[in-house]
């Protein structure tokens, strides 16, 4: 995640100021938002790590929690940077978006890999996870259900 953040930051340092005509404070905006998104990205991994061993559903819940916290903190810093620090809004917002989306992609790939691992373990005998996969139900003979007949009558 840090390697991706470093690459995106270098690209942003050249691209974002150029996109806005190199206004004063554009480089500071890129550095500030890059640091904020990187730090909040690392912090948002904590709920995911705490959910390990509790099954795929808990991991996905923790991922969404971390993602939500990260965006709230990042938007609060964006508002502070523009209002209190007087940084140009365009470079601040574009830097935030570029870095946030890049790190979100990396984090999503990590979580997907972890959930796939948990899912394959639960299907292969349930080793290593707290949430075991339910056993498939035995197929039953199809029989007429009065509730489905009632639904058809209501729809007609």
Q: Looking at the predicted structure, is the pLDDT value of residue 113 above 70?
A: yes
Other Cβ atoms less than 10 A from the Cβ of 133: the count is 16
pLDDT score recorded for residue 52: 78
pLDDT at 144 over 60: no
The pLDDT tens digits for 17-66 are 898 888 888 899 999 998 998 888 888 888 888 887 888 888 889 888 88
Instruction: Report pLDDT for 126.
Output: 52
The domain segmentation of the chain, as residue ranges, is 2-119
For position 138, what pLDDT does the model report?
57
Which candidate, 16, 44, 46, 48, places its Cα nearest to that of 29? Answer: 16
pTM of the model: 0.67
Burial label, 2 (beta-carbon count in 10 A; 0-12, 13-18, 19+)? exposed
pLDDT at residue 155 above 70?
Answer: no
| Distance of alpha carbon 43 from alpha carbon 29, whole angstroms | 21
Helices (H), 20-143: 26-50, 56-83, 89-123
């Amino acid at each position: 995640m840090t390697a991706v953040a470093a690459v995106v930051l270098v690209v942003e340092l050249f691209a974002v100021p150029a996109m806005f005509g190199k206004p004063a404070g554009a480089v500071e905006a890129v550095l500030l938002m890059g640091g904020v998104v990187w730090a909040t990205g690392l912090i948002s991994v904590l709920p995911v790590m705490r959910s390990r061993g509790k099954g795929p559903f808990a991991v996905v819940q923790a991922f969404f929690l971390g993602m939500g916290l990260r965006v709230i903190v990042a938007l609060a810093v964006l508002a502070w940077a523009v209002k209190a620090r007087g940084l140009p809004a365009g470079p601040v917002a574009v830097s935030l978006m570029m870095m946030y989306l890049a790190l979100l992609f990396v984090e999503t790939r990590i979580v997907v890999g972890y959930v796939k691992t948990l899912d394959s373990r639960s299907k292969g005998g349930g080793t290593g996870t707290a949430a075991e996969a339910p056993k498939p139900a035995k197929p039953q003979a199809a029989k007429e259900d009065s509730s489905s007949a009632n639904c058809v009558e209501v729809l007609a």
